[in-house]
């Protein structure tokens, strides 16, 4: 792991999942890129609520649709394998908040302590402020928040930077040991 200044520096793989609150899951980020208040959804139609077991299929559909857009460098087979792991391990291990637009699941954020394990918004709802609303919801009661994002996922990196996150380190390989660099960002109080 190498700490970053203005440019992103890359170094060898360092597993971060030794901490129970920080499981490196960069394949789980396709945040909506909206950052301006004029793109906020109508508060009368957007609701946030806790995840329920019946939401698993909706979360996986949102995850897949958003992952195909945000991670074009992953093959369909890689997305299938990542989806199996997400369904079996990541979703059950996280505290999830669902975003519904007019009663339809539109996105979700999954937290493990102060770590964003996943933030996904269905592509049809991108740029409507749903990702920012989910992020604001979880940051209200946390001092520091970390998130890992693929280096090539420029939209997600821009989304987090616009929300005040700073890139501070990078790994050469993702959590599946693929040669895909992953950037860690932090929002500090």
Query: 105-154 pLDDT, tens per residue?
Result: 999 999 999 999 999 999 999 999 999 999 999 998 898 999 999 999 99
To 10 degrees, the CA torsion angle through 108, 86, 58, 80? 130
Report how far residue 94's alpha carbon sits from residue 111's, in angstroms, rounded to the nearest whole number: 5
In terms of average pLDDT, the best of 23-32, 43-52, 148-157 is 148-157
Confidence of residue 15 (pLDDT cuts 50, 70, 90): very low
Q: Is residue 83 scored above 70 in pLDDT? A: yes
What number is the average pLDDT over the span 14-26? 38
Q: Where are the alpha helices (DSSP H) in 16-100?
A: 56-70, 76-85, 91-93
pLDDT for the residue numbered 79 = 97
Confidence of residue 1 (pLDDT cuts 50, 70, 90): very low
Q: Is residue 24 scored above 50 in pLDDT? A: no
Confidence of residue 44 (pLDDT cuts 50, 70, 90): low
Q: Among 27-31, 32-36, 105-109, 141-145, name the one with the lowest average pLDDT.
A: 32-36
Report how far residue 41's alpha carbon sits from residue 18's, in angstroms, rounded to the nearest whole number: 38
pLDDT for the residue numbered 143 = 86
Asked if residues 172 and 10 have their Cβ atoms less than 8 Å apart, the reply is: yes
pLDDT for the residue numbered 40 = 53
pLDDT for the residue numbered 100 = 97
What number is the average pLDDT over the span 30-53? 65
- The proportion of the chain whose per-residue pLDDT surpasses 90, expressed as a percent, equals 74
């Amino acid at each position: 792991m190498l700490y970053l200044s203005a440019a992103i520096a890359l170094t060898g793989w360092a597993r971060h999942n030794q901490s129970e609150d920080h499981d490196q899951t960069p394949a789980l980020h396709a945040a909506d890129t909206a950052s301006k208040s004029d793109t906020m959804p109508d508060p009368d139609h957007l609701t946030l609520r806790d995840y329920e077991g019946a939401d698993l299929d909706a979360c996986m559909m949102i995850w897949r649709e958003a992952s195909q857009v945000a991670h074009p460098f992953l093959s369909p087979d890689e997305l299938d394998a990542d989806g199996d792991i997400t369904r079996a391990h990541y979703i059950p291990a996280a505290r999830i908040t669902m975003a519904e637009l007019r009663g339809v699941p539109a996105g979700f954020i999954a937290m493990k302590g102060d770590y964003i394990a996943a933030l996904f918004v269905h592509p049809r709802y991108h740029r409507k402020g749903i990702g920012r609303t989910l992020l604001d919801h979880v940051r209200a009661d946390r001092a520091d928040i970390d998130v890992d994002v693929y280096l090539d996922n420029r939209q997600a990196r821009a989304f987090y930077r616009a929300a005040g996150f700073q890139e501070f380190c990078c790994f050469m390989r993702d959590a599946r040991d693929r040669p895909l660099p992953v950037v860690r960002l932090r929002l500090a109080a």
